[in-house]
Amino acid sequence: MKLYYSPGACSLSAHIALHETGMPFEIDRLIKSTKMTVGGENFMQINPNGYVPTIKLDDGSILTECAVVLQYIADQKPGSGLAPKAGTMERYRLQEWLNFISSELHKSFSPLFNKDMTEEVRTNARNHLTKRLGHVETQLANRPYLTGDHFTVADAYLFVVLSWCKLVGFDLAAFPNIQGYIARIATRPAVQAAMKAEGLLK
Average pLDDT rounded to a whole number, residues 132-148: 97
Query: What pLDDT does residue 115 have?
Result: 87
pLDDT at position 172 over 90: yes
Tell me the C-alpha distance between 172 and 158, whole Å: 14
Helix (H) and strand (E) counts in the chain: 9, 5
pLDDT bracket for residue 202 (50, 70, 90): confident
Structural domains in the chain, CATH included, are 2-80+190-197 (3.40.30.10), 89-188 (1.20.1050.10)
pTM: 0.96
**DSSP H helices in the chain:** 11-21, 43-46, 66-76, 89-100, 110-113, 119-139, 153-168, 176-186, 189-197
Average pLDDT rounded to a whole number, residues 135-156: 97
Residue type, 36: M
Tell me the C-alpha distance between 150 and 12, whole Å: 19
Residue type, 186: A
Tens-digit pLDDT profile for residues 54-73: 999 999 999 999 999 999 99
